[in-house]
Amino acid sequence: MATKSKSRTMTDDHKSALAMGRTEGRAVRAYLEALDTSRPKRGRKRTSASISARLERITDELETADPLKRLTLTQEQLDLTSELATMEDSTDISALETDFIRVARDYAQRKGITYHAFRAIGVPAATLKKAGIPRSS
């Protein structure tokens, strides 16, 4: 006896709910990733001016360095140039935060994510308050 397979189709409501979930997920992910990359590092903060000054010193040192020292200076120069480029291309977190605030409450309710979970990964309390995510469940 052959079994019949039902043709399943998604309703328009289901499709729009999936699309909304993807949109909210992208907004939350983008904001959390930006928070992660902009989190302050330990130690003294480097500025573009201090990196540029070090790059100038490296250029001077390269002229008289022996081959092994030249190799390490060249690598440091490449690393600093890359770091300087990422500083200049820093993400505008305010726009991402605005999108996060708009969708975070619904996203958190649907996924069962608490205020404390957001705080544990570094989302500022003020941002959660603006998003309407309460401290208690």
The per-residue DSSP string of 13-46 comes to HHHHHHHHHHHHHHHHHHHHHHHHHHSPPSSSPP
Q: How far is CA 40 from CA 36, 44, 84, in A?
A: 9, 10, 16
Asked if the structure places residue 12 within a domain, the reply is no
Residue 12 predicted with pLDDT over 80? yes
* pTM exceeding 0.85: no
The domain of 50 spans 17-39+46-131
- DSSP string of 82-109, one letter each residue: HHHHHHHT---HHHHHHHHHHHHHHHHH
Asked if residue 64 is part of any domain, the answer here is yes
CB of 24 closer than 8 Å to CB of 103: yes
In a domain, 26, yes or no: yes
Read off the pLDDT of each residue in 50-77 and give the average, rounded to a whole number: 95
Mean pLDDT of 53-67: 95
pLDDT at 48 over 90: no
Into how many domains does the chain fold? Answer: 1
Whether 62 shows a pLDDT value over 90: the answer reads yes
CB-based contacts of 81, cutoff 8 Å, min separation 6 = 55
Any idea which residue has 């499709």 for tokens?
15
pLDDT at 86 over 60: yes
Mean pLDDT of the chain: 88
Per-residue model confidence (pLDDT) at position 84: 86
- Answer yes or no: are the C-beta atoms of 100 and 28 closer than 8 Å: yes
Token code pair at residue 44: 């003294």
Q: Does 70 reside within a domain?
A: yes
Cα separation, 56 vs 69, whole angstroms: 16
What is the distance, to the nearest Å, from the Cα of residue 31 to the centroid of all Cα atoms in its chain?
A: 6
Higher-confidence position of 5 and 83:
83
11 located within any domain: no
5 in a domain, yes or no? no
Q: Which is more confident, 24 or 87?
A: 24
Domain contains 3: no
Position 1 pLDDT exceeds 60 = no
Distance, in Å, from the CA atom of 109 to the CA atom of 36, rounded to the nearest integer, reads: 23
Given a cut of 80, is residue 89 above it in pLDDT? no
12 versus 38: the higher-pLDDT residue is 12
Tell me the average pLDDT across 115-125: 94
In a domain, 2, yes or no: no
